[in-house]
Amino acid sequence: MSRSASLPSWLTHALRAQRGPVPWSAVVRGALTAGPLVLVALLLGQVSLGAMAAIGAMLAGLSDRPGSRRSAVVRIGVPVLVGGAGIAVGTYAEEYVGALGLTVLLTLVGLVAGSVSAAGRVASAAGTQVLVAVALGAGMPADDPGWARALAFACGGAWLLLLALVLPAPQVGAGKLRSALRADYRFDGERVAVAAVYDAVAALLDATGTPRAPARRAALTAALDQAQDALAGPRLRRYARSAAERRLHAQYAAVLPLAEAATALAWAGDALPGRAAEGPRRLAAAVRAGGHTGPLPAPSRHAPGLRALDDALLRAAEVFDRPGDGPHHGAPHGLHRRYRTAGDFVRVSLGPGGREYGIRVALSYGASAAAAHALHHAHWYWMPVTAVFLVKPDLGPLVSRVLCRAAGTVFGAALFATLAAALPQPAGLVALVAVSGALIPVALRHFAAITAVATVLVLALVELGGAPEAAWSRIGETLLACAIVLLVGHLPVPGQRGGGVRSRLERATDAAYAYLDHVLGASGASGASGRLGPMPPFSPSSPSSPSSVLDDRARRWRLRREAYRALAGARAAIDLAAAELPALARRAEGAADVATTLEHLVDTTTACAVHLDDEGRLVPAYTRRIDALLEELAERCRRIGPGGGREEPGNTAGLRPAV
């Protein structure tokens, strides 16, 4: 047994780092934001406003992830706007209320922002930025008015967003650069994301019949999620006017039946010849080059899944070679969008996951602010800001976050002290800010690394503002904030235990049942909505009329996407909870079994959909498999308690099957 395998999961998680190519585009943007902003501010004699702009750029850099330019407007712009508002609120609150009132205000802001953060990635980033901004506005000493500080913060983030919108992605080689310019570099993020889906389909086909198939299916889901996010950015018009953008939308629509057929083949489990994956690979290359596919190798047609794969390849070839002039390109409109209402946003925020997270954020944020005020430290904002990042579950398990934050702060403070003593002032500090800004996109792969880089950047800004004594005090304040968050993270909160895991699991169950109900057309499916239980045995309904086949399949693909997307979110939350200390991991015990059964149910539903398209009816083996999975799901749900963990002896308040 290896040494790493013998370590507990909460410790091994802290040692893992994400891998992948260096995001050179984000590195270039990071180098052109914080450092140049501080340099301009020094030349203008506005150091405090320049520091605020650099912090705004740094926090915007945390949201500068791979994706399209249009989606960056929401992904980066929304957190920047709410962060600017938070700076103004914090600055004016510090002027007009005392320490007690400020602590109460921060606690209430933490409750609201924490609850909203459960609604999605953009909401989580916005909630984090407003919490950080309120603490910075109230705690960073400055003589500038609140509106000026808010404007400087927003301008720093807006400058990064502008660079993300106008700078072309770095290319390797002149040939690739010419190809990118011909293909309209404004859509390079969408192009990369759509091509990755075709590659993921090919990888799943290669892995069919091997133990790698489940991991490849999960990778296909992740690629589809990223492509959907990249294509679904805000727009002023309903339809895309650019021919390049319309083409990408059509290519995304064409990959959905390919993904469906590949999933059905993986479910069947029979190994496929290598030529089956060659077609999707050529399609991926055509997406990247912005050209035609040429002849595609046809797979065998001796099984429903292979016939569906061949038909999907033919339709994709038509889309690639004769895209047409209309806004749809012959494909259903809006397949890349997710149709969520304001009511969905509110329900998630006020659900068990949002309530539990909001309470923990409020307690950690408020307690850290109160402790910092009690210490009478001039830079008291560091403790609540530290608590904000420590309490975020999407950054890793709690103990892993605490260990990484402590190690990163110690290393960052020591590194800054060494460099600040050796570098000339103030040019050396400006250089540190510029280098730190460039390193943020790479450091995001590990929480300790991003903590160290952010510590160096913030300490450089603080020293530029005339507070050299701030460096070593950060270590003690960080350790105290770590202790507060560890305590709050293990406190029982009112309501269900493991609310975040349970809410995601219930969303995945709703989505799986909606998909199953649509494919098989059974009555009584709505009775299971929001509950982890079985449905009555299914029998397929009569096939759709020819005139509604396209719309029916478009709705089916949307439901399938939502089911797999919700399952991926539930699986991520469950894996995260499993890496916690035993006291917290116990709350999600048994949830992984439910998620596994739901994944099998959605995979089987996809196989049923392909079989129904091919033959118009299901053989008894499919319906028996569906019934068995529903019974298995009901049994596994009976074993878990009301908070998503195993039932204790005598506990009969667990999740009940729907009847």
Could you give the CA distance from residue 574 to residue 506 in angstroms, rounded to a whole number? 13
Q: How far apart are the first and last CA of the chain?
A: 47
Helix (H) or strand (E) holding 266: helix 243-268
Check: CB of residue 623 under 8 Å from CB of residue 537. Answer: yes
For the stretch 567-599, what's the b/e string if a residue is b when 16 or more beta carbons lie within 10 angstroms of its beta carbon? bbbbbebbebbbbbbeebbbbbbbbbbbbbbbb
pTM (two decimals): 0.83
How far apart (Å, rounded) are the C-alpha atoms in residues 87 and 79? 12
Q: Distance between CA 584 and CA 13 in Å, rounded?
A: 15
Residue 368 phi, psi (nearest 5): -65, -40
Beta bridge partners of 627: none
Closest CA to 77 of 190, 159, 166, 168: 159
Give the torsion through C-alpha atoms of 97, 101, 102, 104, to 10 deg: -160
Q: And the tokens for 387?
A: 């608590």
Query: Residue 53: what pLDDT?
Result: 94
Q: What is the pLDDT of residue 374?
A: 87
Closest by CA to 657, choosing from 532, 549, 552, is: 532
Q: Give, in degrees to the nearest 5, the angle at Cα 410 between 407 and 413.
A: 140
123 contacts 131 by C-beta, under 8 angstroms: no
Instruction: Give the three-state DSSP class for 471.
Output: helix
Q: Give the rounded distance of the alpha carbon of 621 from its chain centre.
A: 37
Q: Write down the pLDDT at residue 575.
A: 85
Task: Tell me what pLDDT residue 188 has.
Answer: 77
Quote the pLDDT of residue 263. 94
C-alpha distances out from residue 396 to 144, 460, 567, Å? 37, 27, 19
Nearest to 168 by CA among 159, 177, 160: 177
Backbone φ, ψ for residue 60 (5° rounding): -65, -35
Other C-beta atoms within 10 Å of 219: how many?
Answer: 17
| Predicted pLDDT at 336 | 64
Count of CB atoms within 10 A of residue 22's CB?
9
Helix, strand, coil distribution of the chain in percent, nearest 5? 70, 0, 25
Q: What is the pLDDT of residue 548?
A: 60
CA-wise closest residue to 519 among 623, 594, 632, 595 = 623
**Residues 432-488 pLDDT 10s:** 999 999 999 999 888 899 999 999 998 898 888 776 666 677 888 888 999 998 888
Decide: 517 and 526 in contact? Cβ < 8 Å: yes
| pLDDT beneath 70, residues of the chain | 1-6, 10, 169-185, 234-241, 322-341, 467-471, 493-499, 522-550, 640-659
Phi-psi region of 540 (alpha: psi -120 to 50; beta: other; left: phi over 0): beta
Identify the sign of the CA torsion 393, 394, 398, 401: negative
Q: How far is it, in rounded angstroms, from Cα 223 to Cα 211?
A: 20
Residues 6+ apart with CB under 8 A from 340: none
User: DSSP states of 28-86 as a string?
Assistant: HHHHTTHHHHHHHHHHHT-HHHHHHHHHHHHHHHTT--SS-HHHHHHHHHHHHHHHHHH
Helix axes 342-350, 99-117, angle to 10 degrees: 120
- 8 Å CB contact between 197 and 227: yes
Is residue 9 a contact partner of residue 578, using CB atoms and an 8 Å limit?
yes
Give the integer Cα–Cα distance in Å for 260 and 362. Answer: 43
The string over 300-336, giving b where at least 16 C-beta atoms fall within 10 Å of a residue's C-beta and e elsewhere, is eeebbbbbbbbbbbebbbebbeebeeebebebeebbb
Cα–Cα dist 120/127, whole Å: 10
φ, ψ dihedrals at 646, nearest 5°? -65, 145
Which pLDDT belongs to residue 272?
85
Handedness of CA 614, 615, 619, 624 (dihedral sign): positive
436 contacts 453 by C-beta, under 8 angstroms: yes
**Which residue blocks in 423-548 are alpha helix, DSSP H?**
427-443, 447-464, 470-490, 499-520
Structure tokens at 134: 């309120």
Q: Which amino acid is at 425?
A: Q
Q: What residues contact residue 379 under an 8 Å CB cut-off, 6+ apart?
A: 139, 140, 141, 462, 467, 470, 473
Measured in residues, the chain has a length of 659
CA distance 524 to 60: 47
Cβ atoms of residues 554 and 335 within 8 Å: yes
Residue for token pair 């720093």: 156
- Please tell me the predicted confidence (pLDDT) of residue 470: 62
